[in-house]
Structure 1
């Protein structure tokens, strides 16, 4: 009997799940992806746009390429999820029934939670704002650049530090770096709580060598025309502000009862939610690792997608599923000038999360480029 697998979201997790399902299931089974976006671009590309080596318009791959691969793509917005009725409502396509559902809607950015940020700062995670941020940096002759992490958790934990190093490189090439200060403000006591104190110390050392100052325990409260105000009572001047806004699960996920607290709770091995035949993957989820949570990163979304897809494939095929998510992954931390560090971690290690950070190299930067190229080709081209 044919089955209909519905995937909400065409980001890292959604595309990886759709690809895995389509490769392994016969054409009588339908794989449907719903996303309000018309194109896909990896988050890491925003840093290349900031650096100037890529252009936004040339970095987006149309999602309708899914159709040629036997995956049905619906350019639509999900407005309601009814797990009890096995159906999802989309704005233009109405009700869509499913046999299996994969929720891969990611994290929603809520810059409005920070008073005064909109219109004064640039959202570092909004691709449309990156070219404007770059222009402001190129125009700045002297003053202060502030990078503010405005809430926890947030996607791609190393990204603010990568951005600071790339900004340093941009200003150095412009000949203005000696007249411009760069500061990073974070609400946490260390740079990367998910990576632990040693890796955090390594990252702070890395940026300190480039005269970038790190300010822990600085949770932003509000933004005015020339000042940042923090919950600890301190204030700081700025001329250009790049912020990472607070994140939350999309409202459609929360209103459906899928979220327990701020995020969707799942079985950390199978990606199953508490609802029958409903899986959740990627940034919309929370997997606790001790007192912390697994980082929100594309590599983890991809691996989770493969596990969820394998469970669905095996169940449809009548096989026993052995696929489990191992909590292992890696990422590349760019440092500017076409060099990158390599960070890998085993977050389910019985003795506690184990991480390793390699020194920056041109080879790692090339691997980061290949990482993007191979996945876009596999998923959409």
Structure 2
């Protein structure tokens, strides 16, 4: 008989909300005999919500981000690398620079990737709201606009952080107001769905549309872009909309390493990784998926792709792994994901609403939208500060 293996290796792919929350929880809950390896091609972490602060001008694009190397000082192993193959049968991952890495547990937290080129003509004509490098030029373009039309377009479903495009539309209105040009500029929101936020249901969707109406922002449902031209968007319905400035949320898909693995299910939604709604386990032993890359369903409801949900899922997965290791490999965890989360909905002028949701509620999603306030805006900043301190600083 060979020597008994003592050390457990847990590999986490991705250092976003889910990956960072999971890695830190594992490190706190396990002795240093067990390895926690985090692989990400980025060198630093920035929350997506920072894009909105770049848009408002309260945050500069070149401000320092939190270096992921901070994980090493906390007893984890951060590899600045890219996973190019996941082999669940051999329990190993192939990284571009570090080669084959074997694991006992694998947590896939790779998020989603943006595919702006999927919308013909968008690249070079529109600004990608989810690309930090394009948000500052968008702000400058808005400040230079004296009159005309601004179109904010959600270009595919599902997409991460569902309220973000609506936040952007209201912030754009606020920018124009402060610039003295709002009365000469029309702002319109175009979405491919029949209601604003299908994931939260008709009531909160109506509240969001009503909120935008107070800022004189037009709302246009059932508008899925087909092609973007120099001064107009043509939708799949054949309708067209003129614009002078176009800000878009491009279609999303799972990263290639996930799409070519045996983890996904082919579906029109973009080949996400199906998981158990309570344990976040995939169909493969020792393999979990969390955050945007995972498809977490409760009946017909899919949990949104947003950081707070990834964080909640990460804590459950970490506890399951800790309990299993401490129980010598036998599943013994009572940890279960509850489908609950919250987010802030910024509206400009240093104000933000607050959305609280329970997607596992028995009668369907229970969602509450709190009106905008200065307190919620400050809580949003506290949220960023607390997570960075907890995970990296």
Same fold at TM > 0.5:
yes
1:235-274 equivalences under 5 Å are 235-261=240-266, 262-274=271-283
Distance 2:236 2:299 in 1: 27
1:1-381 equivalences under 5 Å are 1-261=6-266, 262-318=271-327, 320-381=332-393
Distance 1:78 1:111 in 2: 23
Distance 1:245 1:224 in 2: 16
Structure 1 contact 307–323 (Cα < 8 Å) conserved = yes
Go from structure 1 to structure 2 and tell me whether the alpha carbon gap of 1:59 and 1:177 turns closer, same or farther (over 3 Å shift): farther
CA deviation profile, 1:330-353 (whole Å, cap 9, x unmatched): 111011111111100111011111
Distance 1:92 1:110 in 2: 25
TM-score (norm: length of structure 2) = 0.96
Distance 2:130 2:301 in 1: 23
Structure 2 contact 301–359 (Cα < 8 Å) conserved = no
Distance 1:267 1:375 in 2: 26
Structure 1 contact 124–244 (Cα < 8 Å) conserved = yes
Structure 1 contact 41–59 (Cα < 8 Å) conserved = no
CA deviation profile, 1:146-200 (whole Å, cap 9, x unmatched): 1110000000100000001111111111101111111110000000001110100
Q: How many residues align?
A: 381
Structure 1 contact 45–59 (Cα < 8 Å) conserved = no
Distance 1:294 1:314 in 2: 25
Aligned-pair distance for 1:293?
1.3
Bigger drift between 207-216 and 316-325 goes to 316-325
Structure 1 contact 120–241 (Cα < 8 Å) conserved = yes
Structure 1 contact 227–237 (Cα < 8 Å) conserved = yes
Runs (5+) with no aligned partner, structure 1: none
Aligned-pair distance for 1:58?
1.3
Aligned-pair distance for 1:291?
3.0
Go from structure 1 to structure 2 and tell me whether the alpha carbon gap of 1:321 and 1:289 turns closer, same or farther (over 3 Å shift): closer
Secondary structure of 1:358's counterpart equals strand
Runs (5+) with no aligned partner, structure 2: 1-5
Aligned-pair distance for 1:288?
2.1
Aligned-pair distance for 1:265?
0.2
Aligned-pair distance for 1:44?
0.7
TM-score (norm: length of structure 1) = 0.99
Aligned-pair distance for 1:60?
1.6
Aligned-pair distance for 1:59?
4.8
Distance 1:3 1:214 in 2: 52
